[in-house]
Structures are given as structure tokens and as C-alpha cells.
Amino acid sequence: MTDFSENAVRSGLILGIETSCDETAAAVVRGGSETLSNVVASQIATHSPYGGVVPELASREHLRNIVPVVRAAVQEAGIALADVDAIAVTSGPGLAGALLVGISYAKSLAYALGKPLIAVNHLEGHIHAVLLEQAELARRSNPKLSDTEPLPLPAIALVVSGGHTHLYLVRRHGESWRYKNVGRTVDDAAGEAFDKVAKLLGLGYPGGPWIDALAPHGNPATVPFSFSQIKAKAHRRGRSGALDPAAETFFSFSGIKTAVLRYTQVHEMAAGIEARRAALADEPGAKPLDALPLCDKQTLDLIASFQRAVVDDLRHKTFRASEQFGAESLLVSGGVAANRELRVRFTSEAAERALPIAFPLLALSTDNAAMIAAAAYPKLITDDFAPATLTADPSLALGGRDGR
């Protein structure tokens, strides 16, 4: 199946395809560092009435969108399909039916064109969204540099989205990247908490951007939410004052959602929530700030306090992990990395610690295929191709505890 030459590796033109959740996306990236196109068809309007992603509807929408989205990505890149050196596709984690649409399409395309197929883990994609942008910035400032190290390594990566809250220790081994999973959520993902809290407060879907827009209008010190510090003992410093590198970091976001719900019950906020839900239902194209006049001070304070608590928990544990593993830089990616308060508070702590930190552009924070094509480039160089039997792995993990 592989018919590619040195030239292919040098130009490294990769068509990436991503269908793991509710975005149908395709992109063309050259050499892992130059985005020629990045097309995303969002399904937000389809899932919005249900307040969450409906798997069957997601698969149906992917089927409808995959051909036009790939065609648009190839056209925008100004290339012909036959020019690509490889097809990369997300193989997991994600919704089985949704993943299968992208995988089947990528497989047939690779077969028909006689090009290699590369399987990419969605979480690795999120990490490469940041590396892609760093590489683009470096290349633009000095086009002669062909292989710059985008960030000082090792790095700690926080991947924080609607489905995931993970910490990885990121290293490079020759051309390949290595990831060690050093932290994870034991229940809900952070983005899921944003979505559920927004839903229970009668706001729109997905909830993150709504809470992000409304939080600056409230007082974050009003409700003192706290998180259970799971396995905090393992993080105690030893005699030398160092943190134990064997200690895994755990996040837990289901408790705060219940705490917000209880707060609304104790403070009898149900009528206001229902009124807001009804008003927004009457206005299908409503934007997050349209909800501002529909929120009283108590609601805005609650939103601000919720966001501050989640951001600070993520910040505290991410910086602790960076210290624990002697990280030289930090990168934050995934849908929740679009959050403005998160960016501000992470950036200021990183500055205090003189630690380089990078976030992807907003368009690369949420799901897209440029990150998949970028993550595939090191695999193209190292002949790390997927077998023709590739199938969806809904619970695919990235980098075990051993860092492979």
C-alpha cells in the first residue's frame, strides 16, 4: 500500500480527517507545520435542542458532511487529492459510530489513491494543535529553519475538553513523540462540567462559551466551591521537598455540578432558571451575551464562582505536575483551553514561574483536522502506518503510565 518516496517525506502533504464527536473536519497540512486548509462543519445546531451530543445524529451528520468537507479542504489547499502523501484519520477515542464514518472514508480514499493511511489518537491531535501553531510561528519568523523545537521539552500538556481532562508528560525521541499519562479525571471531564452547569442554569449548548462570556459579570468570590483532593497524600513532599514522580494527579468534576445544583435549590432559583430557558428557547440563534439581561446578580456570581473554582483546580494541579516532572514548558489544549479566564490565570502563573506556556489559536482549541494531520507527520517520517484492518477504538488511550 505504501508507494511513497523520499520526496513524499520532504513535502509531507497530509490530508487529515476528524469525526470523533460532533465536528466533521478535514484539513491539509504540509510538513506538520504549514496549514493549507482547515475546514470544520459543526453540528452544534443539530445537538443543541438536546443539550448534548446524540450519537446517532452525530453519525448521520458525519455521513452527510464528510464528502463536501473533504472536497472543500482539498480545494482550499489548492491541491489535487492525488498530490497528498498520506491520509490521516482519528481512530479514537470518541463515539464509535462517528469515528467509523471518518475511518471508512479515509480507508477507501487511501486505498483508491494508493497512499498510506495513518491512525491518530484524538488526544495526541489536541497536543499537536499547540505544536503546529508553535511550528508555524517559528517557520514564519525564520523560514530557513526546517526543524525547530517548538517548545522546550519535556512539557506538561493539559488536554481539557468535553470528553477529556488529562495531563501528559510530553517528550521527543528522535522523530517520534512520547507521552506519559500523569493525570486524569475520575469522573466528568471539565468541559462536561461546563456543559452540565450551563444546562442546569438554563443557558445554551455547548455550555463553555456561555459561562466564559457571563462569568466576568459576576463576583467569583461569592460561592466558595471546593474540590475533594483525591490521593492528596501521594503528592506530599518527601524529606528533600520534592514531589513524588510516581504520584498520579486526579481531577473530579462531578461534585461541583451537584454543588451548583444544590445552591440553586437552596436559594430557590428555579423560577428564574425556567424563565431564562424559555426566553432562550424562543431565540434559537441566541449568543452567550444575549443571556446577560436574563441573569440576576446571584446567577452571575454563581457562574463566576463556578468558573473560578474549575480554572483554579486545573491550574493548581497542572503547575504541580510541571514541578513534579521538571517540565520545561506547558501546553494547554482542547475545547476548554478556549476559556479566557483559564488563559489569563495560567499565563500569569507561568510568567511568575518563568515557564513558557502555549495555547492553540481559538480555532485550533476545539476539534479540527489540522491537528490530526500535524500529529500524523512524525508518523509519516517514521513509516508508522495503520493496517488495512484499522477500526474505531472508542476508548483508545494515549501514552500509558510508562510513557510509550
* By CB under 6 A, residue 218 contacts ligand KG4: no
Q: 96: how many CB neighbours lie within 10 A of its CB?
A: 16
φ and ψ at residue 332, rounded to 5 degrees: -125, 130
* By CB under 6 A, residue 185 contacts ligand KG4: no
Looking at residue 82, what DSSP letter applies?
G
Cell numbers given for 337: 483551553
Q: How many residues does the chain have?
A: 404
Residues 219-278 that bind ligand KG4 (CB under 6 A): none
Q: How far is the CB of 14 from ligand KG4 (least distance, A)?
A: 20
Of 109-117, 180-188, 360-368, 396-404, the segment contacting Zn ion by CB under 5 A is 360-368
The DSSP line for 223-274 is S------TTGGGGS--TTSPPPTTPPEEE--HHHHHHHHHHHHHTT-HHHHH
User: Which residue's CB is nearer to ligand KG4, number 19 or number 33?
Assistant: 19
Among 202, 220, 334, 378, binds ligand KG4 (CB under 6 A): 334
Collapsing DSSP to helix, strand or coil, 23 comes out as strand
| Size of interface with ligand KG4, in residues (CB under 6 A) | 19
Residues 153-172 that bind Zn ion (CB under 5 A): 161
Among 41, 338, 355, 375, binds ligand KG4 (CB under 6 A): 338
Strands ordered across the beta sheet of 13-18: 34-42, 23-30, 13-18, 86-92, 117-121
How far apart are the C-alpha atoms of 34 and 13, rounded to whole Å? 9
Residue 207 interacting partner from ligand KG4, Zn ion, none (CB closer than 5 to 8 Å by kind):
ligand KG4
* By CB under 6 A, residue 339 contacts ligand KG4: yes
Q: How far is the CB of 21 from ligand KG4 (least distance, A)?
A: 5
| Size of interface with Zn ion, in residues (CB under 5 A) | 2
Among 97, 150, 202, 208, binds ligand KG4 (CB under 6 A): 208
Of 155-163, 170-178, 263-271, 394-402, the segment contacting ligand KG4 by CB under 6 A is 155-163
Alpha-carbon distances of 99 from 81, 96, 364, 371, 379, rounded to whole Å = 22, 5, 19, 16, 20
Binding stretches for ligand KG4 (CB under 6 A): 21, 161-163, 191, 194-195, 206-209, 212, 334-336, 338-339, 366-367
